[in-house]
């Protein structure tokens, strides 16, 4: 018991230091969220210096316990904890929120001891669930800890994560709610009724513990208890006081996101020392990290892995979504890090082909796309190569998670099927018509849109090797003819000039389903003695600017783009922007009205993105 008391005194001192530094950092920066850090300091101290097993000198040790600060605005605690560990010094700590500092207002991976970017609330538990599931899949015994604020527990994605964490029996996932009662503008939904949070999580199959979040012994005991739970994740609801330690702001509304002024900081620090005189004194306890054992090997990457050459036959027809499933399975055979996450549409995305061949590497995420994307971030951080598939339309509801994945520089491979009006009679709610625009906006992203099985197959391999951010592959529902030979290559940023002559009157650029329409238009126009160039823009971002301009210049400096996507942010606007100084005229055929149910060919005609529309536009230019 003496040892436990000594540890407690040491932890209380560390919590004091975390509070002190949080105040100093935010005041120096002139901004930040000190009151949110003050409430959670005891929890973070207990995690870093009592519960967690990790090697401070090797953050990437795959056996380290992981910590995710879901309430990212409390970032001073994360940075101060790593200062106390010895990873950074006080001088660097005081650069907080500076333009040239890696210690940003909300954590990103510019700070090398960050698991994932947080700050858009409600995602940390999903990321943690991904990491915890990764530990199970790798047969590693590390724990994942997540610290959430009580306000963010209103987010629906939290409950998506809670449900799936129990479904996969993630007893290596331990989460805290910093229940300090106050949000940004007022009291949280449940205030200090901690039992309401406990009842909710218990209803989802979790073990729940309620503690005083400022009683270090209670925090330690709760962590010990959580490690005993088998088959269930654990939630620890820690009742705390926002602004704890500074009477002026304690449990008071109106101080969220407000730093103390520089002329007042010494007074505030003095009050903190008077409130916690014992904790302010350095402890005689000597802390040593508990460094985990086990092998340090992560699954190998897919770079350089040679997939089996496909055996598709030119002229046959196959949906590109099915080619995706076949390609992913072929990739899985040569790269063990490849996993598939699917949103309960595997028979539509054809991820079911992979699931049947590699059931232990297939993760059913059910209809919870937000959680699915953030889980993939956690899995990618632990060495996996995740491919995430659902209908292209449904990525829009998870776009914040995709956006944060990009900020996390996570290498996710997203595959959106059933894109465009060409899906037919299911109607507009199922038609992904915004996805190219959304995915193009992401820093470091690539956007791929193959027209046939061969190009789809080859581009899946390219995605596996792309490790600079998000890669997005757009697939279609209906079958399309195979136009390429199995030996054809499709480099990222390239395109294919399928038709070209010295007499072209326009350059028609299509991708996916509209490339098929462009080739139909070419055949019809040829019969009438009219020649056009046709480009397959399979790589939308980045696209082959030089080739496009060269072909267009030869085709009387006219471009016609055609796409099964809304005009805004799509292929047409992409090209129009880049060629704006090249004296090239451009006409964009795209979906410009709310679609409706109908047969694919009827909808393509109604939206004026079929072969007939191309022919009409070409003739209008003559």
Q: Report pLDDT for 324.
A: 98
The burial of 48, by beta-carbon neighbours within 10 Å (0-12 exposed, 13-18 middle, 19 or more buried), is given as buried
- Domains of the chain, each with CATH number or no CATH: 2-280 (3.40.50.970), 317-481 (3.40.50.970), 497-621 (3.40.50.920)
> How is residue 105 written in tokens?
């207002």
d(CA 175, CA 143): 10
Res. 465: pLDDT tops 60: yes
Q: Report pLDDT for 2.
A: 47
Q: Report pLDDT for 522.
A: 98
| Mean pLDDT, all residues of the chain | 97
3-class DSSP assignment, residue 164: helix
Q: Report pLDDT for 1.
A: 42
Count Cβ atoms below 10 Å from residue 229 Cβ, excluding itself.
Answer: 15
The burial of 383, by beta-carbon neighbours within 10 Å (0-12 exposed, 13-18 middle, 19 or more buried), is given as middle
Q: Which residues contact 529 (CB under 8 A, 6 or more apart)?
A: none
Q: Which residues contact 17 (CB under 8 A, 6 or more apart)?
A: 80, 84
Band the pLDDT of 5: cuts 50, 70, 90: confident
SS (H, E, C) 429-464: HHCECCHHHHHHCCCCCEEECCCCHHHHHHHHHHHH
Query: For residue 264, what is the DSSP state?
Result: G
Res. 161: pLDDT tops 70: yes
Q: Which helix (H) or strand (E) holds 364?
A: strand 362-364
Q: Report pLDDT for 111.
A: 98
Q: Each residue of 7-50: pLDDT tens digit?
A: 999 999 999 999 999 999 999 999 999 999 999 999 999 999 99
Q: Which residue has the higher pLDDT, 180 or 284?
A: 180
Res. 306: pLDDT tops 80: yes
d(CA 536, CA 447): 14
d(CA 101, CA 119): 17
Res. 103: pLDDT tops 70: yes
Residues assigned a catalytic role: 369
Q: Which residue has the higher pLDDT, 1 or 67?
A: 67
In Å, how far from its chain's centre is CA 420?
23
Reading phi first (left if > 0) and then psi (alpha if -120 to 50, else beta), residue 473 is in beta
Residue in the block written with tokens 């030119």: 314
> How is residue 217 written in tokens?
């012994």
Q: Which residues contact 498 (CB under 8 A, 6 or more apart)?
A: 483, 515, 519, 534, 535, 536
Percent of the chain with pLDDT over 90: 97
Q: Report pLDDT for 301.
A: 86
Q: Each residue of 510-529: pLDDT tens digit?
A: 999 999 999 999 999 999 99
Res. 85: pLDDT tops 70: yes
Question: What average pLDDT does this structure show over 194-201?
Answer: 98
Q: Report pLDDT for 3.
A: 67
Q: Which residues contact 578 (CB under 8 A, 6 or more apart)?
A: 543, 545
Count Cβ atoms below 10 Å from residue 44 Cβ, excluding itself.
Answer: 27
Count Cβ atoms below 10 Å from residue 193 Cβ, excluding itself.
Answer: 15
Res. 185: pLDDT tops 70: yes
C-alpha distances (whole Å) from 445 to each of 2, 568, 585, 616 are: 55, 18, 28, 35
Q: Which residues make beta-bridge pairs with 584?
A: none
């Amino acid at each position: 018991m003496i040892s436990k008391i000594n540890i407690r005194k040491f932890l209380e001192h560390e919590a004091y230091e975390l509070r002190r530094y949080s105040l100093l950092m935010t005041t120096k920066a002139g901004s930040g969220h000190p009151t949110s850090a003050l409430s959670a300091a005891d929890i973070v101290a207990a995690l870093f210096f009592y519960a967690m097993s990790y090697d401070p000198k090797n953050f990437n040790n795959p056996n380290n316990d992981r910590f995710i600060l879901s309430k990212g605005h409390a970032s001073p605690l994360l940075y101060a904890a790593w200062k106390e560990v010895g990873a950074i010094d006080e001088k660097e700590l005081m650069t907080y929120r500076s333009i040239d500092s890696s210690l940003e207002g909300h954590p990103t991976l510019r700070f090398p001891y960050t698991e994932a970017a947080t700050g858009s609330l409600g995602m940390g538990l999903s990321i943690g669930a991904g990491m915890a599931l990764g530990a199970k899949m790798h047969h590693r015994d590390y724990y994942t800890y997540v610290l959430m604020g009580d306000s963010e527990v209103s987010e629906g994605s939290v409950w998506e994560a809670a449900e799936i964490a129990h479904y996969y029996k993630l007893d290596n996932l331990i989460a805290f709610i910093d229940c300090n009662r106050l949000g940004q503008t007022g009291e949280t939904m449940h205030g200090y009724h901690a039992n309401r949070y406990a009842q909710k999580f218990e209803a989802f199959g979790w073990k729940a513990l309620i503690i005083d979040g400022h009683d270090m012994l209670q925090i330690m005991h709760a962590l010990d208890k959580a490690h005993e739970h088998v088959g269930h994740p654990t939630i620890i609801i820690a009742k705390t006081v926002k602004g704890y330690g500074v009477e002026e702001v304690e449990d008071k509304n109106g101080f969220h996101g407000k730093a103390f002024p520089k002329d007042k900081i010494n007074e505030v620090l003095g009050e903190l020392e008077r409130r916690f005189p014992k904790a302010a004194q350095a402890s005689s306890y000597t802390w040593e990290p508990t460094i985990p054992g086990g092998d340090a090997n992560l699954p190998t990457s897919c770079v350089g892995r040679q997939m089996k050459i496909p055996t598709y036959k030119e002229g046959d027809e196959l949906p590109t979504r099915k080619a995706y499933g076949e390609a992913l399975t072929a990739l899985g055979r040569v790269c063990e890090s490849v996993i598939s996450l699917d949103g309960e549409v595997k028979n539509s995305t054809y991820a079911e082909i992979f699931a049947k061949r590699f059931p232990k590497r297939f993760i059913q995420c059910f209809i919870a796309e937000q959680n699915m994307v953030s889980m993939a971030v956690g899995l990618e951080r632990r060495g996996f190569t995740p491919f995430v598939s659902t209908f292209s339309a449904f990525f829009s509801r998870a776009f914040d998670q995709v956006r944060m994945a990009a900020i996390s520089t996570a290498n996710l491979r997203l595959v959106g099927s059933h894109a465009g009006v060409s899906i037919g009679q299911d109607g507009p709610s199922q038609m992904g018509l915004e996805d190219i625009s959304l995915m193009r906006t992401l820093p470091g992203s690539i956007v791929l849109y193959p027209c046939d099985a061969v190009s789809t197959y080859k581009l899946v391999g390219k995605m596996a090797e792309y490790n600079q951010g998000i890669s997005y592959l757009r697939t279609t529902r209906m079958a399309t003819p195979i136009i390429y030979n199995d030996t054809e290559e499709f480099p990222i940023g390239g395109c294919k000039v399928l038709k070209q002559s010295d007499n072209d009157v326009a350059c028609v650029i299509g991708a996916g389903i509209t490339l098929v329409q462009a080739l139909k238009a070419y055949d019809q126009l040829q019969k009438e003695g009219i020649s056009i160039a046709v480009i397959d823009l399979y790589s939308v971002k980045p696209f082959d600017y030089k080739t496009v301009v060269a072909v267009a210049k030869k085709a009387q400096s006219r471009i016609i783009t055609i796409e099964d996507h809304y005009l805004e942010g799509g292929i047409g606007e992409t090209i129009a922007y880049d060629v704006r100084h090249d004296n090239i005229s451009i006409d964009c055929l795209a979906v410009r009205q709310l679609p409706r149910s109908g047969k694919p060919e009827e909808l393509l005609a109604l939206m004026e993105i079929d072969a007939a529309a191309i022919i009409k536009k070409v003739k209008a230019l003559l």
